[in-house]
Structure 1
């Protein structure tokens, strides 16, 4: 819900796995005979030579259909179920205790209480946003439109454009305002223009959805249709002047620093100085504009679009932003389009899970403190800090041995690697929510207050020193990321969990693939993917490569782009190799780093089989375990349109075909479907 946030192209994260049990970096081969997750999920009716993903996890896929309330389901989903149960316990206990005013327990408890008050929510309807709707209805001129745009931005609604505060890409010590394309409520600009039957139907459904939402607000049929038509036309123009997802990957082309005079020249109708004051950031004197042509188009729209159209657009943005938290008619309508039409979900999640999702989004650090206290240990944190060191040292060795990189570039690459800051499990200091007001008055008002708090939290960073200790994820998040401006990898506690299995049941082969490769190695490699490699050791956007080395890197990256472009996901839908190259490079790099680090373990050196699998086979099966999951067709189509990650099955089959040891492990030969000739195997790190 936050408009002020980190841009897609800067934080490269991974959706991975987690669970209730702590995992070890030690080899426990004898105990593994009790239960073996690899043995339980493998499908021996499929040949690894034909489809390694289906072989590796096919039994689990068959036995675990996607629940009606979900668009996808995987090993990470299992962990989320466990996390839900834990967070629910924390929330319910906090609600019962009625903690001291201003405490995290009080805020968590009151947020939960109001979120679960379905009777009150139904009775209130749109009462608590009625004043906002009336304010929009009273607009009479362009200044009123701009005032409302600014106000909605302070509610953390990305109306008309995107705004966020992040480090200046060319000066990582400085926090800067970034202005970005935005203002549309379909997931990506291509949804407005792709002519295939799937997207044509989505546009039809979207228009019907917008019309029905206006009717829920009290519009008659004709007025609702008119408002929908005008809103859609406005969004379509914004989309037309937005860059494609592939074009957002170039950090240089999406970096255009401007002072107020240049901003006013770019889009004079926006009146930036006054706009920034209304957005509660009068201190802003410069901004980094991602896509200048988008703001030129906005300026033209402000000059030519009737006020009534703007009022309809502003009303739609406001209501759509809060619809899922309003009474059931609005929540169900919002769910139908954004979950059923776009992602194929058949039914809503239970109320308590939906409340927890928002609670995690808005009060995640407060929950995290209690989560770590109750479910995590310092001993475990130290264990994974050691695994991080092992992967780092392996990467250092790999760089030193590269045959395509010059010594001068290697020296700088090694310097950058040595300065990567790993953040493991949970932060040393937590966000302070003491001035965030959460009350037992209204669920949607609690959401508004929390959203405004986050907005102010972010814009107050402008002009202040960068806090490099800050985390962008909570410890209970089953995800991870690399931030090039901080040159850091952030690895929350939950990313190291394995659902449903004890520490003794996980051998090193699993751990070095599952945690060492697909998480730690993946994130480190993001520092050297197509985007991350353009930032130096201090986090500044600068070219530290020799031209020859840069050209050679790009040549190798083109190989992975071409490889993924060939992968078919659904009917005529292929992976977008250009858009996903960063994640694909990181997957390949992570797999290699995990494997090379695993080769140093006693388990690998012993060559001893466990449940019929060699150590090398178990490593690759552990890699597949990390991405075990499946998605609905609608969700897959949405992913191809909007996500910089390949689908999970291709995060397995895609990188393994480039690893020589994979062929050795499963005796892959020419003629097998998984075979790629040596000269076609992509080799970067």
Structure 2
């Protein structure tokens, strides 16, 4: 599903100091006034905050976005603990929430159980005696939410977006990206060694001698490397044309032969659909080759590793420690694990998200916030329309189509109109892994039941308690969960300049996703089709290349540069969000000048400071390296120092000129929306 989000990072409290008695939004202690704003605006706006919020040992990154997420986690914990304290009747939502959490917190029982909870899965793998058994076992694991080779899921048809079809997407890798298997750098080699050590540990903990475990780990790594070589890169997966390959079951089986894909689907207990979109045909071809040539023993070893690494975080403390040593320490540079309760809150929240969300909204989401957001969204829509009409580079024909798409954007704020029914999910207090697998089966049934049916336009893909927002091009909709409508994004009693600079830019960001390098390929009804003139498309691509080139120049670590192509969609959305929201703020003044200073800053300065404060963060070098490789969002500092030098109004607000190191000459600036 092509959902694009605002990203992760956040901060302070605020509004007008005289209303709340709290610390000013932009007090000098949160900034670093010794830094020239034209040299490093990120540090100027956030230097004090960064000093006051050093990286906790259990975090690889800690920003104002993360701080809000942590505060939210405390609220969710209270909701879950209150549910657990009720000793509710079996089958009720409170019982399920409470028992799921309790099962994850009972480490004595988890340690005592050892690998017994996953023994039925391992026994199923060990029962493989012939090639056909491989498919049966993969189907069985898929039912448990464990995807050894690919994700099989429901997805809106990109060219008929009101209907759901089946989709197949590459999987099978234990490391976060194919490039970790293929790159020749020293850092990549170290991570490959760490990954093989992790696999060795998993096999050892499951009862194998260390020498045998090491051999199995090497075998698995070679198998996964074959999958990696056939996998699309993240950049290739950003191309909706490349990943749209709709065929019938015969077409899929031709791609993946001799792997019997129809048998795989039937083995999960589902009928074969009429249409299936294969996102990566080359990957399926490699699966077919491996199915034909690899020994049964290799398949059994690989499938066992998939089960172990998919369940390690929910097993004994030794498994949890091994999981953290690779994914937390080696990959991201974390020094310590999060407290157990945070992990279990996350898992409970994931399994019963809308049930928890319904309680969250009742407790923490004021109706006034939704009302004010409704007005802000429409103000941003008007401003975006104004900017489209004023574009000098776009033809009238494409402008009209763009205006129609903008007018058609659906808006969801706060929480769903209808809530998920969790009646069929059974939760017990005695087994954490059993609850995880039961939740996986429940989610798979919910998802695959959509295939062949109309898309439910009321469905949400984030829970209300999620600190984020997203745009869905197949529905042409923007979605703002309740949890993001808090400082530093949204100030219910804050002044307009701050709100337009923070949540206003978020709104503009998500709207702009409908017109970024991916979103622009989808029409107002969500269908992938060409609605631009060829000349306008060429002009758009030339303008976005300016942004690609700018971000490619950011050296994030010695010798490591940002990926301007991978992050292009998000960078377009950041720049567009800034320009659209600033226009909306000016509109709100009705031609009058706001001369009031608050916290010592003019309204124009507060707008850009509010935006910058959202991305305040500290981050470890290992996490910088990982995110640069796998994340479509730019790093926090680049989300500030990247787009702002393209905005003349920012220069004007802070009295900056060509002498400033961040200065970009007008003719070299990115100008898109």
- Interval of TM-score (by shorter of Structure 1 and Structure 2): over 0.9
Structure 1 range deviating more: 461-470 or 273-282: 273-282
Cα deviation for residue 41 of structure 1 reads 1.4
What's the counterpart of residue 655 of structure 2? 667
Aligned counterparts of 2:166 and 2:199: Cα–Cα separation in 1? 31
Aligned counterparts of 1:376 and 1:18: Cα–Cα separation in 2? 19
What's the counterpart of residue 522 of structure 1? 509
What's the counterpart of residue 72 of structure 1? 61
SS at match of 1:542: coil
SS at match of 1:269: coil
Question: Does residue 154 of structure 2 align to residue 165 of structure 1?
Answer: yes
Question: Does residue 531 of structure 2 align to residue 539 of structure 1?
Answer: no
What's the counterpart of residue 511 of structure 1? 499
TM-score by length of 2: 0.97
Deviation digits for residues 418-445 of structure 1 (CA, Å, limit 9, x no counterpart): 1100101111111111111111221110
SS at match of 1:144: helix
Question: Does residue 562 of structure 2 align to residue 570 of structure 1?
Answer: no
What's the counterpart of residue 683 of structure 1? 671
In 2, are the aligned partners of 1:141 and 1:307 still within 8 Å (CA)? Answer: yes
Closer, same or farther: CA 261–655 of 1 in aligned 2, 3 Å: same
Question: Does residue 628 of structure 2 align to residue 629 of structure 1?
Answer: no
What's the counterpart of residue 238 of structure 2? 249
- For these two proteins, the number of residue pairs brought into alignment is 671
Match of residue 137, structure 1, among 126, 141, 144: 126
Structure 1 range deviating more: 420-429 or 28-37: 28-37
Aligned counterparts of 1:468 and 1:294: Cα–Cα separation in 2? 31
What's the counterpart of residue 11 of structure 1? 3
Cα deviation for residue 143 of structure 1 reads 1.2
In 2, are the aligned partners of 1:139 and 1:311 still within 8 Å (CA)? Answer: yes
Aligned counterparts of 1:570 and 1:127: Cα–Cα separation in 2? 44
Match of residue 25, structure 2, among 37, 42, 59: 37
Q: Pairwise mapping of residues 275-314 of structure 1 onto structure 2 (< 5 A)?
A: 275-314=264-303
What's the counterpart of residue 3 of structure 1? none
Cα deviation for residue 211 of structure 1 reads 1.0
Q: Which runs of 5+ in 1 are unaligned?
A: 1-5
In 2, are the aligned partners of 1:13 and 1:482 still within 8 Å (CA)? Answer: yes
Match of residue 48, structure 2, among 36, 41, 59: 59
Aligned counterparts of 2:7 and 2:385: Cα–Cα separation in 1? 26
Q: Which runs of 5+ in 2 are unaligned?
A: none
Cα deviation for residue 249 of structure 1 reads 1.4
Q: Pairwise mapping of residues 181-580 of structure 1 onto structure 2 (< 5 A)?
A: 181-498=170-487, 503-504=492-493, 506-517=494-505, 519-580=506-567
Aligned counterparts of 2:449 and 2:132: Cα–Cα separation in 1? 25
Match of residue 571, structure 2, among 584, 608, 622: 584
SS at match of 2:242: coil
What's the counterpart of residue 620 of structure 1? 608
Cα deviation for residue 600 of structure 1 reads 2.5
Cα deviation for residue 34 of structure 1 reads 5.7
Cα deviation for residue 396 of structure 1 reads 0.9
Deviation digits for residues 300-351 of structure 1 (CA, Å, limit 9, x no counterpart): 1111111111111100001110101101011100110011100011111111
Cα deviation for residue 30 of structure 1 reads 5.4
Cα deviation for residue 18 of structure 1 reads 6.7
In 1, are the aligned partners of 2:11 and 2:613 still within 8 Å (CA)? Answer: no
Cα deviation for residue 95 of structure 1 reads 1.1
Q: Pairwise mapping of residues 98-109 of structure 1 onto structure 2 (< 5 A)?
A: 98-109=87-98
In 1, are the aligned partners of 2:617 and 2:636 still within 8 Å (CA)? Answer: yes
In 1, are the aligned partners of 2:10 and 2:613 still within 8 Å (CA)? Answer: no
Deviation digits for residues 461-504 of structure 1 (CA, Å, limit 9, x no counterpart): 00111100111111110011100000001100111201699744
Aligned counterparts of 1:498 and 1:611: Cα–Cα separation in 2? 16
Cα deviation for residue 130 of structure 1 reads 1.2
Cα deviation for residue 253 of structure 1 reads 1.2
In 2, are the aligned partners of 1:20 and 1:497 still within 8 Å (CA)? Answer: no
Question: Does residue 74 of structure 2 align to residue 85 of structure 1?
Answer: yes
Question: Does residue 580 of structure 2 align to residue 593 of structure 1?
Answer: yes
The one of the two structures with greater contact order (alpha-carbon pairs below 8 A, sep at least 6) is 1
In 1, are the aligned partners of 2:470 and 2:478 still within 8 Å (CA)? Answer: yes
In 2, are the aligned partners of 1:231 and 1:312 still within 8 Å (CA)? Answer: yes
What's the counterpart of residue 648 of structure 1? 636
In 2, are the aligned partners of 1:145 and 1:310 still within 8 Å (CA)? Answer: yes
Structure 1 range deviating more: 52-61 or 116-125: 116-125
Question: Does residue 164 of structure 2 align to residue 175 of structure 1?
Answer: yes
Closer, same or farther: CA 34–19 of 1 in aligned 2, 3 Å: closer
Aligned counterparts of 1:500 and 1:543: Cα–Cα separation in 2? 35
TM-score by length of 1: 0.95
Aligned counterparts of 2:98 and 2:398: Cα–Cα separation in 1? 54
Cα deviation for residue 15 of structure 1 reads 2.7
Closer, same or farther: CA 33–221 of 1 in aligned 2, 3 Å: closer
Aligned counterparts of 1:94 and 1:20: Cα–Cα separation in 2? 30
Aligned counterparts of 1:33 and 1:64: Cα–Cα separation in 2? 22
Closer, same or farther: CA 265–554 of 1 in aligned 2, 3 Å: same
Aligned counterparts of 2:593 and 2:126: Cα–Cα separation in 1? 72
Question: Does residue 119 of structure 2 align to residue 119 of structure 1?
Answer: no
Q: Please provide the CA RMSD for this pair.
A: 1.8
Structure 1 range deviating more: 375-384 or 168-177: 375-384
In 2, are the aligned partners of 1:17 and 1:496 still within 8 Å (CA)? Answer: no
Aligned counterparts of 2:560 and 2:630: Cα–Cα separation in 1? 13
Closer, same or farther: CA 448–584 of 1 in aligned 2, 3 Å: same
Cα deviation for residue 230 of structure 1 reads 0.9
